[in-house]
Amino acid sequence: MSNIKRVNLSFDIDRPKDYKVYNILKDKRNKTAYIIETILASLESNNNNIDRHELKQVFMEVLKEADISIRKDDKKQINNTEDIPNEVFDIISSI
């Protein structure tokens, strides 16, 4: 039994996206490698879509608009204009 698997693709040239992809693929010499790299890059891009710094900025804006402050411990209070503890973002990113 071979470890090589085949997948047949069909493109409807009347659909603009199909037509565009067909034209890209027909010119590629190594179509399999191109498809593998493209799909994996797309998946990686989707996984890294949320930038931690950007998320932190958005979260800080929400807290500021809602006039909410965060208590880190009993002695020190963090105002909504200061840095948010990284633990908050660890929790959010694990969701």
Same domain, 57 and 90: yes
| Beta-bridge mates of residue 71 | 77
If you average pLDDT over residues 47-72, what whole number do you get? Answer: 70
Same domain, 34 and 61: no
If you average pLDDT over residues 60-64, what whole number do you get? Answer: 75
Amino acid at 88: V
Q: Does residue 71 carry a pLDDT above 70?
A: no
pTM tops 0.75, yes or no: no
Q: Does residue 69 carry a pLDDT above 60?
A: yes
**Does residue 1 lie within any of the structural domains?**
no
Residue 63 and residue 92 in contact, taking contact as beta carbons nearer than 8 Å: no
Whole-number Å distance between alpha carbons of 76 and 93: 25
Same domain, 25 and 56: no
Same domain, 58 and 43: no
Same domain, 66 and 90: yes
Total number of domains constituting the chain: 2
Q: What is the pLDDT of residues 10-27, one digit of tens each?
A: 999 999 999 999 999 999
Tokens for 92? 């959010």
Same domain, 63 and 90: yes
Domain with 70 in it: 52-94
